[in-house]
Amino acid sequence: MQLQQVIQSILLAAASLPFSAGAWDVTLDAGSRCCSNLASSFPHRVLGSKTAEFTQANNHRWSTTAILNPKCIVQPVNTEEVSSIVKILTSNESTSGFPACPFAIKSGGHMPFAGANNIDGGIVLDLSLLDSTSLSSDHQVVSIGPGSTWQGAANKLKGTGVGIPTGRCPSTAVGGVTLGGGISFFASKIGFAADNVVNFEIVLASGDIVNANATSNQDLWTALKGSSGNLGIVTRFDFSAFPQPSLWAGGLPLPADEHSTRLALTAMHGLTKMHRLFPKVAYGQVFSFNASRTPHEGGIWNSIVFTGEDINELHLPPMPITIGGVTTEINLTDHMRETDLASLLEESDQFPWGYRNYIATVAFVNDLPTLSHVHDLTVDLYKTVRHVQNMEWLFAYEPLPYLFTEHSLARGGNVLGLNRTKDDLILMQLAPRWSSPADDKVMQDTAKQWVEQVKGYTKSVGKASDFLYLNYADGFQDPIAGYGEQSVWYLRDVARKYDPHGVFQKAVKGGFKIPGMGGNKNTHDEL
Ligand SMILES: Cc1cc2nc3c(=O)[nH]c(=O)nc-3n(C[C@H](O)[C@H](O)[C@H](O)COP(=O)(O)OP(=O)(O)OC[C@H]3O[C@@H](n4cnc5c(N)ncnc54)[C@H](O)[C@@H]3O)c2cc1C
Ligand SMILES: *[C@@H]1O[C@H](CO)[C@@H](O)[C@H](O)[C@H]1NC(C)=O
Ligand SMILES: *[C@@H]1O[C@H](CO)[C@@H](O)[C@H](O)[C@H]1NC(C)=O
Ligand SMILES: *[C@@H]1O[C@H](CO)[C@@H](O)[C@H](O)[C@H]1NC(C)=O
Ligand SMILES: *[C@@H]1O[C@H](CO)[C@@H](O)[C@H](O)[C@H]1NC(C)=O
Ligand SMILES: *[C@@H]1O[C@H](CO)[C@@H](O)[C@H](O)[C@H]1NC(C)=O
C-alpha cells in the first residue's frame, strides 16, 4: 500500500467511529486546561465538577433538557471579572492559533434546548451573580445586571411608581429575554424590551468593556437588539423607565370545547386587529391539553393586562360565552383587579421547573381562517402523542401587530426585521412538557412536524411570515435567518468589526448563530 492510501484508510476508519474521538479529546483537553487556568486566577469563582455547588448551579435550569456536563462553571461577580475571564478564555486564540476555550453563556437558564446555555466538556460562564438593579436618582433609567430575574428587578422597583418592560414570567432573566427582543406587558405602548435599552455595557471578545448606545458604538447598540449572544457578553442593561404606579390584570379560564375555542380564537384575531384601539392592553392565550384532564382534555387561559392609569378608560366589548348550553355575556373588566408589576409577576409563575421541554415557534398573518386551521392542526398533532406519560401539550397565541414595530423604529430600530412588511402577525409558540428522557425523541419530532405543517399551510394560503421569535425558537430553527437578509448582512458586519476572530461564533458552541459565519449548529449533538 502506498503511504497515501494507508493514511486515507486510517482517516476513513476514524470517520466511521460514532463520534470523532480525536476532536472529542481536544474538546475535553481544552476544557480541563481552560478550567485550571481560570481556577488559578479566580479560585473562588470556579466550580469544578462533582461538588454540590457545581451540581446545584448546573441543575438551575428551567428545563432538564438543558442540563449537560460542563467541565467547570465560572461565576463572576462584576464586569471586570467578566472581562478578565474572557481574556483567559481567548488568550491563545489570536497568538498561537490555538482555539479559544469552548464556552457557553448563561443568565436565567430558561432556554430549554441542549447547548443554548450549557456545554458538554466546556466552561459555563454563569452570569447569575450579576444581578443588581438600580434606579437613577431622576427615575429615568433602571440599570440591571443580566443575571437578575425579572421578579428580582420588579421587587426592587416596588413602591417607586416606576415601570420597565419586564418579561412576563418571574424567573426568566434580563439577559436572555432582552437580547432576544423581549415581549412584556407594555409592547403595544413601547415596543420590545430591547427597544427600551438606552445603553448596553458589554464585554467584547477582546475583553474590552464598552458601552453601546445611540451616540457611542451605535451599530453595536442596534445589533444587540435581537442578536442574542453573538456579539459579546452584556454585563448591564440600562432601561428607559416610565411611570407605572399600578396596573390591572386578570384571567379567564375556559374549557377548550368547540364553542369556547372558536370564541377564544375570534377574540385573539379581533384584539390583534384592533390593537391600535387598545394600545394599553396585553392579551394572550395559553391552550393546554392533557389526557388525564376531565371532562375536556383541554383548557384555555385568557390573560389580559391593562397598563393604563385608569381602568375606566378600558372599554372592551363584552364577550358572549356559552357554557353548558347557557349563554352569558362576560365583561372581562369585571375579571380584572388592580395590582403592581412585582405582584403580577409573582402570580404569573405558571410554568413549573424540572420537566423535559421544548419551545418552538411560528408567526403568521392575523387572519381568522388561518388561525383556526393552524389551531386545528396543532390539536391534531397532540392526538398523536397524547399517550406520552405525564405530558402537557401547551401552546400559546399572542398578538404581534405592526404597532410594536412602529415603537421599535421610533426608538432607533432593531434587527428583528419586522419592518419588512406592515402585517399584523399572530405569534405562536408550542411548548409541551413531559417527564421521561425516553420520550424525548417522539416529543421532539413533533416540534419539526408542527413547524413544517404550519409553514406549509400558511405559505399555501399566502399568510406566512418569515419571522421567528428567537426567544421561542427551538434549536433546529434559525431565527436570525428569519430576520431577513438585510439584518443578517448587518449582523455579519457588526460581528466582524467587534469580534474579528469569531469567538462568539466558534468558541461559544451553542445558542443561535449568525448564519454563514462558520459557527456550529445549535444543538450539542454537532459539537
Ligand atoms: C416559563 C417561560 C416564560 C417566558 N416568558 C417570556 C416572556 O414573557 N417574554 C418573552 O419575551 N420571552 C419569554 N420567554 C422566553 C425567554 O425570553 C427565553 O427563554 C430567554 O432566552 C430566557 O432568558 P434567560 O436569560 O432566562 O435564559 P438563558 O438560557 O440563560 O439565555 C438565553 C440565551 O441568551 C444568551 N445570553 C443570556 N444572557 C446573555 C448575556 N448577558 N450576554 C450574551 N448572551 C446572553 C445565552 O447564551 C442563551 O443562548 C419565556 C420562557 C419561559 C421558559
Ligand atoms: C495558552 O497556551 C499556553 C502555552 O501554549 C498554555 O500554557 C496555556 O495554558 C494556554 N492558555 C489557555 C487559556 O488555553
Ligand atoms: C454612551 O456611551 C458613552 C461612552 O461610553 C457614555 O459616555 C455615555 O454616557 C453613554 N450614553 C448613555 C445614554 O448611557
Ligand atoms: C364592564 O365592567 C366595568 C367595571 O365593572 C364597567 O365599568 C363597564 O361599564 C362594563 N362594561 C360593559 C360593556 O358592560
Ligand atoms: C395533567 O392534568 C392533570 C389534571 O388536571 C394534572 O394533575 C397534571 O399535573 C397534568 N400533567 C402535567 C404534565 O402537567
Ligand atoms: C428596518 O429597520 C432597520 C433598522 O432601523 C433599517 O436599517 C432597515 O433599513 C429597515 N428596513 C426596511 C425594509 O424598512
Together in a domain, 446 and 319:
yes
Question: Is 520 inside any structural domain?
Answer: no
Cα–Cα distance for residue pair 477/116, rounded to 1 Å = 12
Q: Is the CB of 421 under 6 A from ligand 6?
A: no
Q: Is the CB of 180 under 6 A from ligand 1?
A: yes
Together in a domain, 180 and 223:
yes
Together in a domain, 152 and 190:
yes
Together in a domain, 109 and 146:
no
Together in a domain, 181 and 272:
no
**85-89, 180-184, 324-328, 463-467 — which is least confidently predicted?**
324-328
The confidence score (pLDDT) of residue 20 equals 32
Backbone angles phi, psi at 155, to 5 degrees: -60, -40
The confidence score (pLDDT) of residue 395 equals 98
Among 198, 224, 243, the domain-final residue is: 243
Ligand number nearest CA of 103 is 1
Question: Is 511 inside any structural domain?
Answer: no
| Whether the bond into 102 is cis, omega within 30 of 0 | no
Together in a domain, 338 and 474:
yes
Note the pLDDT tens digit of each residue in 463-487. Answer: 999 999 999 999 999 999 999 999 9
Residue 3 pLDDT > 80, yes or no?
A: no
The confidence score (pLDDT) of residue 521 equals 55
Strands 281-289 and 393-400: antiparallel
Question: Is 527 inside any structural domain?
Answer: no
Ligand 4 nearest atom to the CA of residue 331, by list position: 1
Question: Is 295 inside any structural domain?
Answer: yes
Together in a domain, 424 and 284:
yes
State which of 103-112, 266-275, 514-523 shows the largest mean pLDDT. Answer: 103-112
Together in a domain, 10 and 57:
yes
Among 243, 260, 289, the domain-final residue is: 243
The confidence score (pLDDT) of residue 350 equals 85
For position 164, which CATH number holds?
A: 3.30.465.10
Q: Which residues contact 80 (CB under 8 A, 6 or more apart)?
A: 209
Note the pLDDT tens digit of each residue in 149-170. Answer: 999 999 999 999 999 999 999 9
The confidence score (pLDDT) of residue 292 equals 95
For position 68, which CATH number holds?
A: 3.30.43.10
Q: Is the dihedral of CA 316, 322, 326, 327 positive or negative?
A: positive
Using DSSP, state whether 220 is helix, strand or coil: helix
Q: What is the 3-state secondary structure (H, E, C) of 163-195?
A: ECCCCCCCCCEHHHHHHCCCCCCCHHHHCCHHH
Q: How confident is the model at residue 519 (pLDDT cuts 50, 70, 90)?
A: confident
Q: Which domain covers residue 350, as residue numbers?
A: 247-481
Among 243, 271, 289, the domain-final residue is: 243
Note the pLDDT tens digit of each residue in 284-308. Answer: 999 999 999 988 899 999 999 999 9
State which of 5-14, 25-34, 310-319, 472-481 shows the largest mean pLDDT. Answer: 472-481
Ligand number nearest CA of 200 is 3
Together in a domain, 326 and 395:
yes
Together in a domain, 106 and 254:
no
CA 362 to centroid of ligand 2, rounded, Å: 44
Cα–Cα distance for residue pair 474/266, rounded to 1 Å = 28
If you take atom 9 of ligand 5, which residue's CA is the nearest one? Answer: 390
The confidence score (pLDDT) of residue 26 equals 43
For position 253, which CATH number holds?
A: 3.40.462.20
| Cell numbers placing 119 | 456545554
If you take atom 12 of ligand 2, which residue's CA is the nearest one? Answer: 34
The confidence score (pLDDT) of residue 96 equals 61
What's the structural domain count of the chain?
3
If you take atom 7 of ligand 6, which residue's CA is the nearest one? Answer: 413
pLDDT > 70 fraction of the chain, expressed in percent and rounded: 91
Cα–Cα distance for residue pair 254/512, rounded to 1 Å = 36
Residue 92 pLDDT > 80, yes or no?
A: no
The confidence score (pLDDT) of residue 16 equals 36
Together in a domain, 456 and 352:
yes
Look over the chain and give the mean of its residue pLDDT values, rounded to a whole number. 91
What's the one-letter identity of residue 273?
A: K
Question: Is 523 inside any structural domain?
Answer: no
The confidence score (pLDDT) of residue 11 equals 41
The stretch 385-390 carries a mean pLDDT of 97
